[in-house]
Structure 1
């Protein structure tokens, strides 16, 4: 069967409790928290982004307060086809991903995945091309977030030479956005965390690739109320 140039299907992992985002998550799952000033929940921004990148089918893996998310999806004019699945028992991140992927419409084709609390904009097509060029089984987007504290630079003698407010981290982190080959699903655990099992195994075999987010690409994980405030500020500074 002819493979599409880029994936047209994706999984969004939207089952988290979002305990650090309370009180916002007292009555809704984390992906349903609205970005201040937009009137749109995080998952709404994600679906619009995926649609703009050529995705036509999305499977949303629900858990905590699933019915709130399902109701919103049913009542909203969406830019692509969305199916929801609900874990009847906790399967862990890897198990949840495998369960959701089983509902993708094209099991023999590659797919994207994203965590439900990531708000970002970059070219998924470029990431898919990077994935294909390296013949990877899985590719992770990599971000370099700013450290939330001010950094101090010193000279060899121990004198402080400079203060740097919120410098970029020296380390790249998993940005929570992925490209997976069709074969990846079978490597996932039925229950458990793929980041502790599947990913390290693929890394040892050089089948795991890392795609650094392009310079200037917007990326934020919405974990806390402070992240919501920062996202709103950044949106305002961009003029919407």
Structure 2
């Protein structure tokens, strides 16, 4: 199975860490974010990873090389001029020779425990009954960026909640895509504002909601929370060995 990782982000909100490296190469517990993604993809059965690189992309290539040290085959799609995420995906998909097999695609800053097998199963099930189905995407509950104030019917405050979950889901930045989607991706631009709405309008996209840990590492706070989560997982693993 092939996977595409969007690894060209500059990560302006993570400066100065990203002054000298692309955002997906920022370290999380001593390893680049990309390392954590690659190992997770490998363990899910991915054999080939195409890194979609742009800003300081040579750092990604220098780190992963041919991928053999990480149990994968690594390939690189270099963005010579800014293509946007959709354009980068289109260029990367042109490198694949998967014989019609679906491909996993992910933003290069996502850290999650979501079950990739569940996402793949959803794609396969829907594709079996609808040959035009193009994408199964991960969604996650939306956390309020602000504290919630609860009140009773008279306006009296009854409590406060931090990081309360809202009754909405957001795009988790992890997808299982049909090769057919390549022709629908923009040559330049963002697939999430062009291709995805078009697929949704024609009933060719589904979503799988995950309650597992998920962070898009956009800020130092996100980086810290992702690191704390990984540390807690290691602590639990160590306690069970």
How many residues get paired?
229
Q: TM-score, normalised by structure 2?
A: 0.90
Q: Secondary structure at the match of 1:237?
A: helix
1:157 to 154, 158, 161: 154
Tell me the residue number matched to 1:17. Answer: 10
Closer, same or farther: CA 75–61 of 1 in aligned 2, 3 Å: closer
Higher helix share: 2
Cα distance in 2 for partners of 1:146, 1:10 equals: 28
Tell me the residue number matched to 1:89. Answer: 81
Q: Offset at 1:78?
A: 1.5
Q: Offset at 1:111?
A: 0.5
Closer, same or farther: CA 75–204 of 1 in aligned 2, 3 Å: closer
2:22 to 26, 29, 38: 29
Tell me the residue number matched to 2:239. Answer: none
Q: Deviations over 1:123-152 (max 9, x none)?
A: 212111111222331111001143243211
Q: Secondary structure at the match of 1:96?
A: helix
Cα distance in 1 for partners of 2:176, 2:32 equals: 23
Cα distance in 1 for partners of 2:202, 2:80 equals: 34
For structure 1, which runs of at least 5 residues remain unmatched after alignment? 1-7
Tell me the residue number matched to 1:230. Answer: 225
Q: Secondary structure at the match of 2:146?
A: coil
Tell me the residue number matched to 1:5. Answer: none
RMSD of equivalent CA atoms: 1.6
Cα distance in 1 for partners of 2:218, 2:138 equals: 18
Tell me the residue number matched to 1:219. Answer: 214
Q: Does 1:53 align with 2:44?
A: yes
Q: Offset at 1:169?
A: 2.7
2:57 to 50, 63, 66: 66
Closer, same or farther: CA 193–107 of 1 in aligned 2, 3 Å: farther
2:134 to 118, 133, 137: 137
Preserved contact between residue 61 and residue 100 of structure 1 (Cα < 8 Å): yes
Preserved contact between residue 93 and residue 179 of structure 2 (Cα < 8 Å): no
Cα distance in 1 for partners of 2:85, 2:66 equals: 28
Preserved contact between residue 120 and residue 176 of structure 2 (Cα < 8 Å): yes
Q: TM-score, normalised by structure 1?
A: 0.90
Q: Offset at 1:107?
A: 5.0
Q: Deviations over 1:158-202 (max 9, x none)?
A: 111111121123210000000001211111111112111111111
Tell me the residue number matched to 1:4. Answer: none
For structure 2, which runs of at least 5 residues remain unmatched after alignment? 128-132, 237-241
Cα distance in 1 for partners of 2:204, 2:44 equals: 24
Preserved contact between residue 134 and residue 204 of structure 2 (Cα < 8 Å): yes
Q: Secondary structure at the match of 1:157?
A: coil
